[in-house]
A and B are shown apart, each in its own frame.
Chain A
Amino acid sequence: MTALRYGISDTLVLAKRSLLRIPRQPDLLVGFTVQPILFVLLFVYVFGGAIQTPGFDYVDFLMPGIIVQSIAFGGFVTALGLADDLKKGLMDRFRSLPMARSALLTGRTLGDVVTNVFQLVVMFTVGLLVGFNFSSDYAEVVAGIALLLLIGYAFSWVFAFMGLTASSAEAANAYGFTILFPLTFVSSAFVPVASMPSWLQPIAEHNPFTKMVDAERALLLGIPAGNDVWVGLAWTLAIILVFAPLSAWRYRRVVAR
């Protein structure tokens, strides 16, 4: 019982530490505020006119996709932080303390949830300002937000794994962007899959990121969902179930030197 209480309090202490970094590193703060806003404005006002989205206003088509994309990158602080902790000897300090060792990972990923909430506020505000319409009911929006937070949490574990695998924070940064950027763009997030060349369509169609975006589109735009929501949810849970143990395994390996 005490172990559980300490586990929770240690996680909270380290989540707070992870969050304090963001406002203190201007490039991170820009990454979580200015950058996604710029992306929305670019897509809506520059590319939007050239992209055909039958049945939707482009703003309505875009917002669920771009929100899922930015929330997926929210866990980036975890990769940076873990890579730094390993390199700078902080991991040794933490592991010599009578704290719950699991909190080193759970604290980071919990911190990301708070970052994700902040990102959602920014993205929904900007979305409403450029004319996004929720065409769904209250319950669907709540479910949409819950799924978004779960998606963000899933990608935090992906980033945790990257941070523990990369040799430095810079390398973690490079991994994150070279792997996740193509994944998010070869999907239904920004353009309809049907507009892609026929060889690329099956890839985009089966991309888990497409499934998540389709689930959010169904929930936020109130369109008939079919199985989209369940498939998106299943993929999200699958990522957590794979990457959380993988990160824990990687963590044990990397500190045993």
Chain B
Amino acid sequence: MVTVGSVPAAPAVETTNLHKRYGAVEALRGVDLRVETGSVFGLLGPNGAGKTTAVRILTTLLPPDEGSARVTGFDVVRDAAKVRQQIGLAGQYAAVDENLTGFENLQMVGRLYHLGRSRSRGRARELLSSFDLSEAGDRLVRTYSGGMRRRLDLAAALVARPPVLFLDEPTTGLDIRSRIGLWDAIEALVSEGTTVLLTTQYLDEADRLADRLAVIDEGVVIAEGTPDELKHRVGGERLEIHLCDGERGEEAVAALASIASDRPFVEDGSVRVPVAERRGTIANAVRRLDDAGIAIDDISVSSPTLDDVFLTLTGHAAEREAEQAEVQSS
């Protein structure tokens, strides 16, 4: 916790009992969040969990139906104008104007933050260079690649050096190289003291970037803690087995029942079994499956990942569901 003297500093973001409803759909059903100044907070959940709604409320784009939210101490409804001076937003879409150059985009955003003409120009050049876009700066954005657009979008969110940055799924749809590039940029910002609230449906992204995480599903926070705390919650090692015959998952679970420390999970011919003890587990499992006449394609023991956390907490996998939601919405 950051402290000034002996008085704790106000959290960068704080929400109390946030509710938001769209017609019959309750997008948020009482969300409480607290993001300490200078930290990276990850809001993790599948599509439709309420992540974007929470960000839209915190960035003053949408009023909550119930509850309240404060950013750097300012209420997002009553002091919306003050909140807007404290925040930067980079969204799911690269929200940049395709018919302007990269430079013109950043300069325009600077002018709209009321930085003045010359400071806007200077800041635009500076950001283009720190996001490796100097050479492309005078080209129209419609000639940019997806990764370049996202970098420009992030740069636009930083024009006024906001103390709090909201990143709504900053790397969704990017290839792995661009994702890593964007992660590096975000980490550099954090090292300069910017508070970041980031939403993601990628567990590896949350694992890499966030100091603290809240897992959100169907409009409520179902778990909160550091990535390590959440992994601990899932407990020990897991045995992962890919079967040659995908139909025989349930039989495999039955054969392994005596070594499972918790409820096993079966999906598309692979079986995950929580186990208490790492040593000897593989040999033991192979023997039992062999006795049952079930052929194994691959077998391993692994430590829990955030994927497992998600699975345990929500009863469904994060990414698979997210992909389905994307297919439905497109």
A residues sitting closer than 8 Å to B (CB atoms) are 6, 9-10, 13-14, 17, 20-21, 24-25, 88-90, 92-99, 255-257
Q: Are A93 and B91 CB-contacts (below 8 A) given A24-B140, A256-B62?
A: yes
Contact B61 A96 (CB under 8 A): yes
Q: Give min CB distance, A199 to chain B, whole Å.
A: 45
Which one, B79-87, B213-221, B223-231, B322-330, is touching chain A? B79-87
Q: Which of B60, B62, B97, B113 contacts A90 (CB 8 A)?
A: B97
Which 8 A-B residue pairs are closest in the complex by CB-CB distance? A89-B93, A93-B95, A89-B95, A98-B84, A99-B112, A96-B89, A21-B99, A13-B111
**A92 and B109: CB pair below 8 A?**
no
Cβ-defined contact, A98 with B111, below 8 A: no
Q: Are B114 and A96 in contact (CB under 8 A)?
A: no
Q: How far is the CB of B120 from chain A (nearest CB, A)?
A: 9
27 contacts between A and B (CB under 8 A): A9-B114, A13-B111, A14-B112, A17-B97, A17-B100, A17-B104, A20-B100, A24-B99, A25-B99, A88-B93, A88-B95, A89-B91, A89-B93, A92-B56, A93-B109, A95-B61, A96-B60, A96-B61, A96-B88, A97-B109, A97-B112, A98-B81, A98-B84, A99-B112, A99-B114, A256-B62, A257-B22
Residues on B with C-beta less than 8 A from A98 are 81, 84-85, 112-114
CA distance A93 to B113 in the complex (A): 12
Contact partners of A92 in chain B: CB under 8 A: 56, 59, 61, 89, 91, 95
Query: Which of B88, B104, B112 lies in contact with A20, CB distance below 8 A?
Result: B104
Residues in B whose Cβ lies below 8 Å from that of A256 = 62
Q: How does the 8 Å CB contact mask read for B94-114 relative to A, with 1 for contact and 0 for none?
A: 111111100010001101111
B271 partner residues in chain A, CB cutoff 8 A: none
Interface size on B, residues (CB 8 A): 31
- Roughly how many angstroms separate A98 CA and B59 CA in the complex, as a whole number? 11
Q: Chain A at the B interface: mostly helix, strand, loop or mixed?
A: helix
Q: Which residue of A lies closest to B168 (CB)?
A: A92
Q: Which residues of A contact B60 (CB under 8 A)?
A: 95-96
Question: How far apart are the CA atoms of A167 and B106 in the complex, in Å?
Answer: 27
Given contact pairs A20-B99, A93-B91, A97-B84, a sample of 4 additional A-B residue pairs in the complex whose CB atoms are under 8 Å apart? A21-B99, A92-B59, A99-B113, A256-B62
With a CB–CB cut-off of 8 A, which chain B residues contact A21?
99
CB <8 Å contact, B112 and A13? yes
B97 cross-chain contacts in A, Cβ below 8 A: 17, 90
Query: Of A13, A24, A89, which contacts B92 at CB under 8 A?
Result: A89
User: Which chain B residue has the least Cβ–Cβ distance from A95?
Assistant: B61
Residues of B within 8 A of A99 (CB): 112-114
B241 at interface, CB cutoff 8 A: no
Residue on B nearest A2 in the bound complex, by CB: B114
**Cα–Cα, bound, A255→B60 (Å):** 11
What distance in Å separates the Cβ of A244 from its nearest Cβ neighbour in chain B? 22
Does B156 make an interface contact (CB < 8 A)? yes
Could you tell me the distance between the alpha carbons of A96 and B108 in the complex, rounded to whole angstroms?
14
Cα of A14 to Cα of B96 in the assembled complex, Å: 13
**Chain B residues within 8 Å of A25, by CB:** 99
User: Which listed residue (B114, B140, B156) contacts A93, Cβ 8 A?
Assistant: B156
Complex: A177 Cα to B88 Cα, angstroms: 39
Residue from A20, A24, A92 with most neighbouring chain B CB atoms (10 Å): A92
Inter-chain contacts of B61 with A (CB < 8 A): 92, 95-96, 255
Q: A28's closest neighbor in chain B, by CB?
A: B99
Distance between Cα atoms of A88 and B96 in the complex (Å)? 8
Of the candidates B96, B114, B140, the one whose C-beta lies within 8 Å of that of A6 is: B114
CB of B112 within 8 A of CB of A10, answer: yes
- What are the residues of chain B within 8 A of A90 when measuring CB–CB? 95-97
Cβ contact within 8 Å between B95 and A9 = no
Within 8 A of A (CB), among B58-80: 59-62
Which has the most chain B C-beta neighbours within 10 Å: A14, A17, A256, A257? A17
Question: Smallest distance from the beta carbon of B149 to chain A beta carbons, Å?
Answer: 10
B85: A residues at CB distance < 8 A = 98
Which residues of chain B come closer than 8 Å to A255, judged between CB atoms?
A: 61
**Across the interface, which residues of B come within 8 angstroms of A24, CB to CB?**
99, 140
Q: Which of B87, B93, B96 contacts A96 (CB 8 A)?
A: B87
Chain B residues closer than 8 Å to A93, beta-carbon distance: 89, 91, 95, 109, 156
A89: chain B residues within 8 A (beta carbon)? 91-95
Which of A6, A14, A21, A88 is the most central at the interface, judged by chain B CB atoms within 10 Å of its CB? A88
